[in-house]
Chain A
Amino acid sequence: MNTLLPAIGFGLVTASILAVAGVGFTLQFGVTNILNLAYGDIMTAAAFVAYLVTSAGVSVWLALVAGAAFGGVFSVVLNRALYTPFVRHGTRLFGMIIVTISVSLIVQNGLQAIFGASFFSLNMPRPAPIHVAGMVFTTVQFAIIGIAVAAMLLVHLLLRYTKLGKAMRATASDPELARNCGIATDRVIDLAWALSGTLCGLAGVILVMNVTAFTDTTGSQFLIPVVAVAVLGGIGQPYGAMLGALIIGIASEVAAAVISPDYKNVVAFVILVIVLLARPQGILSEIATRKEVAA
């Protein structure tokens, strides 16, 4: 019991980061059907933006905003400048994988070329421990959970109660039908990338707030758990992703505590493979999985 409760506490923190990243990933993937493997590296890039901001002596809260804004802008530009042209050019599912992996390698190694292969950490006030029901959190971890909950609430309100949310859900389930109903799917796709990128940037910054040091590969190592969260929840299902984040976050931290920290990520890997092979539509989705890329 004495190792399990703290592990669940860590699990909640990991789940919060995973939820922000996973919801961003699933929204974009659901709407555009492009499996963006550069997502983790955009997280890292946002973390480096936050690093530059905090190194300049600005507060970590502004760094959070800067990282999120960078993620949003970068994603929209990436889609407009590279992904959409490739899709229009006739590149399809497998080709797009090669495109996104190329971008992933270029961003990751670009960061390494600029900043050097070294360890970095955000310049922020030293966190104090807080005890809650047998679990220990730092103030930073508390803030991470708060940020994640707030972000999830905002996404929920956006999707449920705004026209944009409705249009996004419509585009995710059937882009052609949505277009025929008069929805400007191009704009919806742009906004989906912007929203997804913002969450991606936010996730990147809170990810490195939670660790003592990060490198140019921190985000890409986090990618597979994020994809696992999105796939487990069902592609394009933000609520599924939230649930998936909770499951994978807690499962991986418990596995780290009970089995060995080396196998922390393997839990997410195994869950991902099993879900992809057994139920590729995820636990909450009824959307067909043999869709093509939305042009």
Chain B
Amino acid sequence: MSVAWQFYISTVLIYLGVDVIACWGLNLQFGVAGLVNFAYIIFQAAGAYTAAVLTLGPATRGGFQQYIGGAHLPFPVPILVAGVVGGLLAAVVGGLAIRRLRSDYEAMVMLVVSLIATSVATNQSGLVNGSNGLALVPKPLAAMVNLSPIGYQWLFVGITAVICLCVYWLVHIVTSSPLGRTLRAVRDNEQAAAALGKNVAALRMLAFVLGGVLAGISGAILVEFISAWSPGSWLYPETFVYFTAVIVGGSGNNLGVMVGALLVPVAFLEATRFVPQFGPPGLIDALQWIIVGVLALVFLWFWPRGVIPERRRRFPRPAEGEADGAPRRVPLFLRAGR
């Protein structure tokens, strides 16, 4: 395989890893807990920013980029801290914004949160270096391992894959445990879950924070790979791409969401960056967005549950008369699995 092809494939694989982790995080929030977070991208951006400044080292006075809290931390630490920051930010935003709002109002609030964040990040140059963002973030381990550029690409693919596996293990545990079942109960019928003594507010918050952590981690991997960060690349339409991916793949199903991440952000957005340019500049970008929009519409119409739908969970009914001696006659309309 030629070096160019290896570069291409390894780059797409890394993007895939980033998008899969981000989609799993969004799936925890939206697919499993039913929270409509249209500001998802800012948690990814916050994680990415954290990882960037923790790798860049302290900001020098009068240097060409200004940022806060710079440090030189060894490789896995910036990514972990990025997850923590994503989670903390989610706790703050969630504490303010997750109310018992209609889901379209909730989406609206989150959309506006995303716009405010972009506006502040762009206009307050002391905070995140304004719209210029950060550049020249050192690549992790690059100074320690002595690899050819292409060897380093594959090393990075390996790192991303390992993080993906860890994250999958985490989301699998969450979604298949009693906790995941309770979260789905809250999503499907909030009142019923509350009536069974579940703390609905705390459960939704937990899902929101976990999603924020994963968003932060995915952003951190991305920034360590492309070594640059700017507010302009984390706008709200990017959140829409992740939502489309989750819906296309199968909201609520971790494997489905992985397929969605492969199809939407990777196949339609990343891979098409490499097709030959045609038409005036900007035409391909415009067409990509049109395709993503059409894709969302088509899936909502034909397959609203996605390529790999969430498994309908069935629980065995207790056998007749088994419970308290007396035969239990459950009215037909109350029986499970209907």
Are B296 and A102 interface neighbours, CB within 8 A?
A: yes
Are B104 and A97 interface neighbours, CB within 8 A?
A: yes
> Interface residues of A, CB < 8 Å — how many?
43
Are B123 and A263 interface neighbours, CB within 8 A?
A: yes
Are A94 and B283 interface neighbours, CB within 8 A?
A: no
Are A277 and B97 interface neighbours, CB within 8 A?
A: yes
List residues of chain A with CB within 8 A of the CB of B96.
277
Interface residue ranges of A98-126 to B (CB < 8 Å): 98-99, 101-106, 108-110, 112-113, 116-117
Interface residue ranges of B99-139 to A (CB < 8 Å): 99, 101-105, 107-109, 111-113, 115-116, 119-120, 122-123
Q: Is the CB of A163 closer than 8 A to any CB of chain B?
A: no
Are B123 and A102 interface neighbours, CB within 8 A?
A: no
A103 is contacted by which of B99, B103, B115, B293 (Cβ under 8 Å)? B293
Q: Is the CB of A164 closer than 8 A to any CB of chain B?
A: no
Chain A interface: which of B141-149, B252-260, B284-292?
B284-292
Are B123 and A91 interface neighbours, CB within 8 A?
A: no
List residues of chain B with CB within 8 A of the CB of A95.
300, 304
Complex Cα gap A102–B301 (Å): 13
Chain B interface: which of A132-140, A188-196, A267-275?
A267-275
B301 is contacted by which of A89, A108, A270 (Cβ under 8 Å)? A89
List residues of chain B with CB within 8 A of the CB of A263.
119, 123
Q: Is the CB of A93 closer than 8 A to any CB of chain B?
A: yes
Are B119 and A86 interface neighbours, CB within 8 A?
A: no
Complex Cα gap A224–B110 (Å): 12
With a 10 A CB-CB cut-off, give which of A82, A89, A112, A289 has the most chain B CB atoms: A112
Q: Is the CB of B151 closer than 8 A to any CB of chain A?
A: no
Are A105 and B289 interface neighbours, CB within 8 A?
A: yes
Which residue of chain B has its CB nearest to the CB of A116? B280
Are B301 and A86 interface neighbours, CB within 8 A?
A: yes
Q: Is the CB of A72 closer than 8 A to any CB of chain B?
A: no
Are A97 and B282 interface neighbours, CB within 8 A?
A: no
Known contacts A95-B300, A224-B112, A265-B119: A105-B293 contact under CB 8 Å: yes
Known contacts A95-B300, A99-B300: A280-B105 contact under CB 8 Å: yes
Q: Is the CB of B247 closer than 8 A to any CB of chain A?
A: yes
Which residue of chain A has its CB nearest to the CB of B302? A89
Are B104 and A35 interface neighbours, CB within 8 A?
A: yes
Complex Cα gap A277–B36 (Å): 15
Known contacts A269-B112, A290-B102: A98-B300 contact under CB 8 Å: yes
Complex Cα gap A227–B111 (Å): 12
List residues of chain A with CB within 8 A of the CB of B247.
98
List residues of chain A with CB within 8 A of the CB of B286.
109-110, 112-113, 117
With a 10 A CB-CB cut-off, give which of A109, A266, A289 has the most chain B CB atoms: A109
Complex Cα gap A104–B297 (Å): 12
List residues of chain B with CB within 8 A of the CB of A35.
104-105, 107-108
List residues of chain A with CB within 8 A of the CB of B292.
102, 105
With a 10 A CB-CB cut-off, give which of A82, A96, A265, A273 has the most chain B CB atoms: A273
Interchain nearest-CB distance for A228 vs B (Å):
8
Complex Cα gap A104–B286 (Å): 12
List residues of chain A with CB within 8 A of the CB of B316.
none
Complex Cα gap A108–B289 (Å): 9
Complex Cα gap A94–B106 (Å): 9
Are A117 and B115 interface neighbours, CB within 8 A?
A: no
Which residue of chain B has its CB nearest to the CB of A117? B282
Complex Cα gap A52–B111 (Å): 32
Complex Cα gap A110–B286 (Å): 7
B287 is contacted by which of A82, A109, A117, A260 (Cβ under 8 Å)? A109
CB 8 Å contact bits of B1-42 with A (1 = contact, 0 = none): 000000000000000000000000000000000001000000
List residues of chain A with CB within 8 A of the CB of B122.
262
Complex Cα gap A93–B101 (Å): 11
Interchain nearest-CB distance for B215 vs A (Å):
19
Q: Is the CB of A158 closer than 8 A to any CB of chain B?
A: no
Interface residue ranges of A37-96 to B (CB < 8 Å): 82, 86, 89-91, 93-96
Are A94 and B103 interface neighbours, CB within 8 A?
A: yes
Interchain nearest-CB distance for B26 vs A (Å):
13
Which residue of chain A has its CB nearest to the CB of B236? A101
With A276-B109, A277-B101 already in contact, 16 other A-B pairs whose C-beta atoms are closer than 8 Å: A93-B102, A93-B104, A94-B104, A94-B107, A95-B304, A99-B300, A101-B240, A102-B293, A103-B293, A105-B293, A106-B290, A116-B283, A117-B282, A266-B116, A276-B105, A277-B99
